[in-house]
């Protein structure tokens, strides 16, 4: 079901076009990172610290070097001769202490899994044999295993020259929160905890680095979402000119933000390559991924909300703790910062006092994962508004509705950084509640309860900042990079079209949606459009990378602009060939024709021939040869998508297990390019969030050892864990994005965690349980149930 603002008469845009890359993906003919071999290539492996905090007192690599088949072994001290520290690009907290680390540890290890040495050998089997021959002595240091230990007054310190373990803190304010809380009729508050997890693409990370000292060129194949950024950072860390670095991306087996970040392994492989004078492939295996890929989500939010007795929200205040690791990752404390910026959600809250503290622990570096902090901002506002509804005795639906900004109040400043572009939030809420009624959930719940079953319906409303972002604004809030996007749209001498973009595709359908926009914008068959991404040598520059719901919004906007200009040029050349006025021409199905006179037409092949080969007498004197348009799009504002999600669950009070029965979402991402792929994005994101809401967790012991370093222990959802999905769309276009797209890649992960809590609470409403911790595993839920049954408070 789709509710659109205006009827569509399009051929490709807005249509359920299947993925154009699918046939090769379905036949095993695509090329992923580990499918690539280059001439003379050897393979690497990394020796990782088995302890969370220690001084390295001795490393002996001599036995490893003697193993037949080994080319090179490096330690941190070898690496620092060539490489600088790993870069940090986000500095959102003023005067933050930035703890940087090299790609391999030099004297101190600060997390389990930190690299201490690396081997290059004839193949991975031999490289791993060699790791076992490296001897390292560690002198243990006191471990700061979790947030509470890090904050304790007598806590051991990760960095001796710091006063404590706090990397930095900041407070954002709007209005007067203290006054608002003083005059409030009702205050609700809780401590919310999202435990650590990660993006977990099924393809792990990998690279092939080829650093040729004689040409000075560094040629890298990298499984990354941000090839342009990676190129910049390779140049920065290795002190080589940007122009000498080429980054190419193969097919990518899922990214989810995790592959946005710039990791040590690319640098390690480059150093091994330079020293061994061979290209070096370095892949992460699954077990390594739990300690070597970005850890995410790990935060605590102690927040409270103040309301008047009529339900008007007066204020929001609290402190968020970002559980950083032993050094800062690429994005620093960016995601925890974003959680604070979005903690007011879609509600009008005039008075805010929002504090962020970024805290170091002996865990792996914190980094990007789809949603980038916003899922935890969502937990804050959605859990608090339900607590408030209960305390006020109001409907949780009506309490939400009465605090939304009205459509005419947009653009709406949220009070902290973001200005929401456009929205019909109440309509979206109604769309969801009527869908719940239509699907019979309310009746199902009534019947189930009568039969003694604990059936719950959860609701959640979310906002998704997209189109990250206006470059100068991003710079001002602490990003050492830009946010614009650039695209080339080129028609060749045969009249076919190639789009080149700095964005990449990790399965979200970038190539397909771009082909749709070009085919629609120009009036050519979609089969005539080729999309090229993933090579910094031929593709244009994109600020940031493919993340922050940027691909459809910014790349799409640039394509709409470039395609519009290219079409005008094609029509002007067509006018010359047809001896007509360009105003009288139309371009459809690859033919330029005089409107109303179909027999008077030329093909795009004729146009291409005239622009590239036979210019004389065919290309107007005023036109430059070739058919190419470049567009650089730097948005005036970010976009704000939103949705209302509803989830039907059943709780087993004996085991604490939660069964997800059905899920629906009423969504508004502005103009939808491809509803088939859009729904796929929403469903996939929700499934990931349900994993984070119920199952997935990095569990650490008191020594900072990770206890969940395989898929036997870190449980990502399978097909039997995930419910069916039903999506309902409304389209409120982004006012400042040509094409009107708002982005939706992160919607599901933002929406899906808090709604699990809402549904469980509802299923157990007779007990008064409040879910504040995620994942809500069966043991945790049993504890809540038992505490409630014995009359103890649960919040």
Tokens 């795009």: give the residue.
604
* Cα–Cα distance measured from residue 275 to residue 716, given in angstroms and rounded to the nearest whole number: 39
What is the bridge-based pairing of β-strands 627-633 and 639-651? unpaired
**What SS3 class is residue 606?**
helix
Instruction: Report the interhelical angle of 754-763 vs 675-694 (nearest 10°).
Output: 60
Residues paired with 120 in a beta bridge: 44, 72
CB of 551 to other proteins, least distance (A): 13
CB of 724 to other proteins, least distance (A): 6
Cβ(670)–Cβ(730) below 8 Å: no
CB of 221 to other proteins, least distance (A): 14
Cβ(55)–Cβ(139) below 8 Å: yes
CB of 11 to other proteins, least distance (A): 19
Task: Output 679 or 762, the one with its CB closest to other proteins.
Answer: 679
Task: Output 181 or 256, the one with its CB closest to other proteins.
Answer: 256
* Cα–Cα distance measured from residue 523 to residue 228, given in angstroms and rounded to the nearest whole number: 31
Instruction: Report the interhelical angle of 374-392 vs 334-341 (nearest 10°).
Output: 30
For residue 227, the number of C-alpha atoms closer than 13 Å in the C-beta half-sphere is: 30
Cβ(547)–Cβ(466) below 8 Å: no
Contacts of 14 (CB under 8 A, 6+ apart): 8, 671, 672, 673, 674, 675
* Cα–Cα distance measured from residue 78 to residue 346, given in angstroms and rounded to the nearest whole number: 51
Neighbours of 80 (CB within 10 A): 15
CB of 200 to other proteins, least distance (A): 6
CB of 75 to other proteins, least distance (A): 27
Cβ(303)–Cβ(317) below 8 Å: yes
Q: Which H or E element spans position 345?
A: none
CB of 468 to other proteins, least distance (A): 21
CB of 506 to other proteins, least distance (A): 6
DSSP for 140-177 reads E-----SHHHHHSTT---SSTTSSSSEEEEEEEEES-H
Which of 508, 488, 516, 531 has the alpha carbon at shortest distance from 673? Answer: 516
* Cα–Cα distance measured from residue 288 to residue 291, given in angstroms and rounded to the nearest whole number: 6
Residues paired with 601 in a beta bridge: 593
DSSP for 212-242 reads ETTTTEEEEEE--S-HHHHHHHHHHHHT--G
Cβ(565)–Cβ(518) below 8 Å: no
CB of 26 to other proteins, least distance (A): 4
Q: Return residues touching other proteins (CB under 8 A).
A: 18-19, 21-23, 25-32, 34-35, 125, 200-204, 251-256, 285-287, 506-509, 676-677, 679-680, 683-688, 710-712, 716, 718-720, 722, 724-725, 748
CB of 650 to other proteins, least distance (A): 15
**Peptide bond before residue 411 is cis, with ω within 30 degrees of 0:** yes
* Cα–Cα distance measured from residue 333 to residue 169, given in angstroms and rounded to the nearest whole number: 10
Task: Output 322 or 509, the one with its CB closest to other proteins.
Answer: 509
C-alpha of 298 from chain center: 15
CB of 387 to other proteins, least distance (A): 29
CB of 260 to other proteins, least distance (A): 15
CB of 707 to other proteins, least distance (A): 16
* Cα–Cα distance measured from residue 182 to residue 210, given in angstroms and rounded to the nearest whole number: 63
């Amino acid at each position: 079901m789709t509710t659109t603002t205006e009827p569509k008469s399009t051929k490709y845009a807005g249509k359920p076009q299947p993925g154009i890359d699918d046939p090769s993906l379905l036949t095993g003919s695509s090329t992923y990172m580990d499918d690539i071999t280059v001439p003379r290539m050897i393979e690497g492996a990394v020796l990782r610290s088995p302890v969370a905090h220690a001084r390295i007192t001795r490393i002996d690599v001599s036995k490893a070097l003697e193993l037949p088949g080994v080319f090179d072994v490096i330690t941190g001290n070898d690496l620092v001769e060539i490489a600088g520290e790993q870069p940090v690009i986000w500095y959102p907290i003023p005067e933050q202490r930035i703890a940087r680390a090299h790609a391999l540890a030099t004297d101190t290890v600060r997390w389990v899994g930190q690299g201490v040495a690396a081997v290059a050998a004839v193949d991975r089997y031999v490289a791993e044999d060699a790791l076992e021959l490296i001897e390292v002595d560690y002198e243990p240091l006191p471990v700061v295993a979790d947030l509470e230990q890090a904050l304790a007054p007598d806590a051991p310190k990760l960095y001796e020259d710091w006063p404590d373990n706090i990397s930095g803190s900041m407070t954002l304010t709007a209005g007067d929160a203290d006054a608002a809380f003083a005059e409030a009729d009702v205050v609700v508050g809780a401590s919310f905890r999202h435990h650590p997890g990660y993006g977990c693409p099924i393809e792990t990370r990998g690279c092939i680095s080829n650093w040729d000292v004689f040409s000075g060129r560094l040629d890298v194949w990298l499984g990354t979402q941000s090839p342009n950024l990676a190129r910049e950072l390779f140049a920065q860390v290795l002190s080589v000119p940007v122009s000498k670095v080429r980054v190419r991306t193969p097919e990518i087996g899922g990214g989810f933000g995790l592959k946005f970040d710039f990791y040590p392994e690319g640098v390690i492989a480059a150093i091994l390559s330079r020293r061994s004078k061979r290209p070096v492939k370095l892949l992460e295996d699954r077990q390594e991924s739990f300690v070597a890929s970005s850890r995410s989500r790990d935060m605590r939010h102690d927040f409270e909300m103040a309301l008047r007795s009529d339900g008007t929200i007066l204020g929001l205040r609290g402190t968020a703790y970002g559980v950083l690791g032993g050094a800062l990752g690429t994005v620093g404390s960016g995601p925890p910062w974003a959680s604070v910026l979005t903690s007011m959600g879609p509600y009008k809250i005039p008075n805010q006092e929002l504090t962020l503290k970024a805290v170091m622990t002996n865990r792996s570096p914190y980094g990007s994962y789809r949603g980038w902090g916003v899922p935890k901002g969502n937990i804050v506002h959605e859990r608090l508004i339900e607590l408030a509804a209960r305390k006020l005795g109001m409907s949780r639906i009506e309490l939400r509705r009465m605090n939304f900004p009205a459509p005419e109040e947009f653009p709406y400043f949220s009070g902290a950084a973001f200005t929401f572009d456009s929205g019909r939030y109440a309509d979206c809420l109604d769309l969801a509640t009527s869908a719940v009624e239509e699907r019979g959930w309310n009746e199902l719940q009534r019947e189930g309860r009568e039969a003694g079953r604990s059936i719950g319906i959860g609701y959640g409303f979310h906002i998704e900042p997209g189109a990250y972002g206006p470059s100068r604004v991003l710079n001002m809030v602490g990003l050492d990079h830009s946010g614009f996007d650039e695209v080339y749209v080129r028609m060749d001498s045969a009249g076919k079209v190639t789009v080149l973009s700095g964005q990449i595709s990790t399965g979200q359908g970038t190539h397909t949606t771009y082909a749709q926009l070009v085919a629609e914008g120009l009036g050519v068959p979609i089969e005539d459009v080729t999309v090229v991404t993933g090579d910094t040598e031929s593709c244009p520059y994109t600020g940031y990378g493919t993340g922050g719901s940027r691909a459809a919004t910014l790349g799409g906007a640039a394509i709409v602009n470039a395609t519009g200009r290219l079409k005008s040029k094609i029509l002007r050349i067509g006018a010359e060939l047809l001896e007509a006025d360009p105003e009288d021409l139309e371009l459809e199905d690859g033919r330029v024709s005089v409107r109303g006179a179909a027999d008077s037409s030329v093909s795009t092949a004729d146009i291409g021939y005239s622009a590239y080969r036979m210019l004389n007498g065919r290309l107007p004197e005023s036109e430059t040869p070739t058919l190419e348009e470049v567009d650089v799009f730097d948005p005036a504002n970010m976009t704000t998508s939103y949705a209302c999600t509803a989830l039907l669950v059943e709780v087993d009070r004996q085991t604490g297990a939660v069964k997800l029965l059905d899920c629906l979402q009423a969504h508004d991402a502005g103009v939808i390019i491809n509803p088939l792929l859009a729904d796929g994005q929403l469903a996939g994101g929700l499934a990931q969030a349900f994993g984070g809401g119920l199952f997935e967790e990095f569990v650490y012991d008191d020594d900072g050892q990770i206890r969940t370093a395989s898929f036997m222990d870190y449980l990502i959802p399978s097909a039997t864990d995930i419910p069916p999905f039903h999506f309902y769309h409304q389209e409120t276009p982004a006012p400042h994005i040509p094409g009107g797209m708002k982005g939706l890649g992160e919607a599901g992960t933002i929406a899906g965690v808090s709604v699990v809590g809402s549904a469980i609470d509802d299923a157990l409403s007779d007990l008064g349980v409040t879910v504040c911790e995620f994942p809500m595993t069966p043991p945790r839920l049993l504890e809540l149930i038992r505490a409630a049954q014995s009359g103890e408070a649960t919040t």
